[in-house]
Amino acid sequence: MNVESFNLDHRAVAAPYVRLADRKQLAGGDVIVKYDVRFTQPNTAHLEMPTVHSLEHLFAEHSRNHSDAVLDFSPMGCQTGFYLMLQGEPAYEDVLGLVEATMRDILTATEVPAANEVQCGWGANHTLAGAQEAAATFLAARDAWPTVFASDAEPTQ
């Protein structure tokens, strides 16, 4: 199939994890990488939409304080995680560091950025508490992020 995630056996992954999902070299030579930042186990658990929406806003805003390479942080329709798009090819450990630093920022945030009718298409659909709870749970499993599949003997990217 044309979509990388449609070729991933979602039954075999062990969330939470951070996985390199795609790499594209553009005609001009620039490279864009896409990371699968998976919060919950597919087909077992999911994040509620106000939590997803708030994590999207918080990560999009705060991650740019840590890296100029961030292009986008998009929620998955299945509500189990996000796609982090970066310019260039940062080292995997640097990507993990970016995700970790941003999640720590989310834990100390006092509001969801742009959670209003002027800056957001559904400004009322947010929960700072939900986003912080999801970020705390994700951070608590930091050591497991490199392990994508339950059967992996060694962590993968």
Which residues pair with residue 33 across a beta bridge? Answer: 23, 86
**H and E: helices and strands count for the chain:** 3, 4
Q: Model's pTM, two decimal places? A: 0.94
Residue 152 domain-assigned (yes or no): no
Could you read off the pLDDT of 50-63 as tens digits, one per residue?
999 999 999 999 99
Sheet strand arrangement including 81-87: 17-25, 31-38, 81-87, 70-75
Whether 59 and 71 have beta carbons less than 8 Å apart is answered as no
CATH classification at residue 39: 3.30.1360.80
Task: Count Cβ atoms below 10 Å from residue 97 Cβ, excluding itself.
Answer: 14
7 in a structural domain: no
> 34-88 pLDDT, tens per residue?
999 999 999 999 999 999 999 999 999 999 999 999 999 999 999 999 999 999 9
Instruction: Count structural domains, the chain.
Output: 1
